[in-house]
Each structure stands twice: as C-alpha cells, then as structure tokens.
Amino acid sequence: MVKNPLPVPIHLKTLLSWVDKKREMYTLKKPTGIIILLMSFVLAGEVYAVNNTTIDEDFGTIESSSSIDLSTHTFILKITWSAEQSDAPLPRQRVKAESVIQSHLPHLFIDAISKLIIDSRKRVSDSISDSPEIAAELRKIASTGKVVSAGFSSNFSEFQHTYQYPLYPSIAGLFIRHSQGVSQIEELTYVPTGNYSGIVIYADSSLEMFGTPRNSSLKPALFPKVYNENMDLVIDMRMVDPEIVKTKGMLQYFTSSQLDKIHSRVGDVPLYVHATALFGINSTDLVVSHRAAKKIKASPHTLSLVREGKIAIVTE
C-alpha cells in the first residue's frame, strides 16, 4: 500500500514531532577459520559490544569486533590481546601485545570489511573474489587505521587497540567506476511545488520486498538504488558526481531520532518522500511511489540535488 505523501515543503523542525524515536541495528555473522568476527551496521553510532574469541597457546587470546557507523561513514575495528597474568614488566607486555595485534591486523581488517554491503547484489567479499587487486589494496588500507584508543585493562591481563577508518575515499573509492555523473531529464508531467534543499527518503522498519509476499528491513549499503513502482531507476550512484561519492558518499543514513542532524546533508527544507517497498538480494534498494519519483525528477533543480548527493535515508 502506498502511503499518502506528507505536505511539502516541510521544515525539519516540524518533522521532528511526527516521527517516533526508535533505533535499528543490523548485525551480520560469519565464521572465518578459527577467528569469528561480527560486524554490526550501526546507524546511530551506538556503542556495540561484540566479543569473539580465538585461542592460540603460543601467545594467548585474540578477540576482535567491528562495526560501521554509516551516519559518520566510519569503520571501527577493535582488537584485544589477552593472556594469563604474568610477572613480566608492563613495557614488555605492551610490546608483546602490540606485536601480536599488528601481525594479525591485515587479516582481521580484511575479514571484517568483507561483510560490508556494496549494493543490492554485492558485498566486499564478492569483489575480493573477483579481483585479487582489491584484496591487495585493502591490505594496504589496513595499516592506515587511526588508533583512537590503546591500553591495558585494570588488571593488565588484556591490551586493546581500537582503529578507525574513514569509508571515504580510500575504502569506498575502490568500488567507484564512473568518471562523471549520468545526466537525467526532468519529469515533464509534474510541476514542482518548492525550491527544496535536499531529498529525504523515509523507510519504515519493515517494508514489503517488491514483488513478493514477505517483508524485510532495510540493510545499509555504500551504493543503494531508488526505483519507482515500474522499476524505473530514479537514483543511482552513477547519477551522483563521482568526486562527491568519493569524498562523502552518494547519500547518508540517519535514524528518526537524528532528524535534527540531517540538515547538514539535505538543508533545512528538503523534499520528503516515503519508501513503499524494498528491492534487491541484500534488501538495500528502495521503491517509491510514482508521485514521489516524479517529485524527485520534477526539475533541473531537484535533479541537481541528486547529482550533488544531497540525499538522506531515514530509518525507524
């Protein structure tokens, strides 16, 4: 069922009172050898707590966890080394811990980032399988992580490094292939009603998978697509200026409790539409009504908002 669109234009301050404050977290699990990593897609930047263990009798235990905050486009990797308490001097323990962590960092980074969804059909793991060069570039990126915290636990039995990696431009840039934005023609059958500052697509927590009787939840991706109900493409990564895609992404995800923050991406008076369904193997793509699609393509100005990446997806 297509939702009735909200009156437009809508100021974000007005919109705040209409949306319930809920949060959605997406977690992916996959064992790899003796090391198990979980990656949570965190839309609101909440602190996650995922601990997974590998035991090696030679140097103790490695625990690793990772997350992606798509509202800030940051990949976070935590690696913890632990061993039985010993009488070894603290500096020696630290040198040993850092050596173990550094030796495992490339593998742990690639294993974690491989779960990242690129688009409706591919994850990073698929690109690694298709192109050995991608794996080589990711190994280089692994060493560039910013250490945002490092230290021992209170009893000195654990040592943890937390790394942060910006998704743009180095990681996402590996998967950008276009050199200029695809030109679009405005929708001549629809008269625009406002000088909008951006585009906001609101997605309910559960939406019908287009063409099926089942529902699913939106999964964040680097390059999602937006279709109308005839499956005509409305928004695609190739329609966005590649320099914008490389530096800040084609769009940005927010939760409904972050509406006071999205003006930085879409301005104060965005065009606001509802998604009516999801599409794609990975449940990443959105379907909007014909009316909403016509609004997005109503004029050279609204099409320029797509080209400039002034797009936000808001989830419950």
Exposure letters 84-106 (e unless 16+ CB within 10 A, then b): eeeeeeeeebbebbeebbeebbb
**pLDDT at position 287:** 97
| Residue 116 phi, psi dihedral angles, 5° rounding | -60, 130
Question: Does the residue 27 lie in any domain?
Answer: no
Number of structural domains, the chain?
Answer: 2
Terminal C-alpha separation, the chain: 18
- E strands, the chain, where? 25-32, 35-42, 53-56, 60-69, 74-82, 146-152, 158-166, 199-203, 207-208, 215-216, 226-227, 233-235, 252-255, 271-279, 285-288, 311-315
Same domain, 101 and 234: no
* C-beta separation of 199 from 306 below 8 A: yes
Domain end residue (candidates: 175, 199, 233): 175
Q: Which of 195-209, 249-263, 266-280, 301-315 has the lowest mean pLDDT?
A: 249-263
For residue range 229-265, list pLDDT tens digits in order. 999 999 999 999 999 999 999 999 998 888 888 999 9
Calculate the CA dihedral of residues 114, 118, 120, 126 and round it to 10 degrees: -40
Q: What percent of the chain has pLDDT over 90?
A: 48
4 is a domain residue: no
Q: Are 187 and 259 in contact (CB under 8 A)?
A: no
| Residue spans of alpha helices (H) in the chain | 12-15, 90-113, 124-130, 132-142, 242-248, 263-266, 290-296, 300-307
The overall average pLDDT reported for the chain is 79
In a shared domain, residues 37 and 135: yes
More confident residue, 41 or 168: 168
Residues 283 and 238 in one domain: yes
Q: Based on the domain organization, do 294 and 310 belong to the same domain?
A: yes
Q: Of 140, 175, 210, which one is at a domain's C-terminal end?
A: 175
pTM for the complete prediction?
A: 0.75
pLDDT of residue 307: 95
Q: Are residues 171 and 203 in the same domain?
A: no
Same domain membership, residue 280 and residue 222: yes
The verdict on residue 5 lying in a domain is no
Mean pLDDT of 281-292: 94
Measured between alpha carbons, how far is 74 from 45 in angstroms, rounded to an integer?
9
What's the confidence (pLDDT) of residue 188? Answer: 63
pLDDT tens for 97-127 read 888 888 889 989 998 898 899 999 999 999 9
pLDDT of residue 51: 40
Q: What is the pLDDT of residue 238?
A: 93
Cis peptide before 169, with omega less than 30 degrees from 0? yes
Can you give the pLDDT at residue 209? 94
As given in the structure block, the two tokens for residue 180 are: 């200029």
Whether residue 155 is predicted with pLDDT greater than 60 in this model: the reply is yes
| Res. 132: pLDDT tops 80 | yes
Length of the chain: 316
Beta bridge partners of 76: 67, 164
The torsion of the CA quartet 75, 76, 81, 85, rounded to 10 degrees, works out to 180
The tens digit of pLDDT for each residue in 45-98 reads 333 233 454 545 466 788 888 888 877 889 999 998 886 665 566 777 788 888
Q: What is the mean pLDDT of residues 280-297?
A: 94
User: In this predicted model, what pLDDT tens digit does every residue of 174-220 receive, in sequence order?
Assistant: 998 776 666 677 666 666 667 899 999 999 999 999 988 899 999 99
- Tell me the pLDDT tens digit for each residue of 13-30: 344 333 333 333 333 333
Residue 252 belongs to a domain: yes
CB 117 within 8 A of CB 253: no
Close Cβ partners of 251 (under 8 Å, ≥ 6 residues apart): 224, 235, 265, 309, 311, 312, 313
Residue ranges making up the domain that contains 87: 33-175
5-271-214-231 Cα dihedral, nearest 10 degrees: 100
Q: Tell me the C-alpha distance between 246 and 174, whole Å.
A: 9
The residue ranking higher by pLDDT, 1 or 249, is: 249
Residue 2 lies in a domain: no
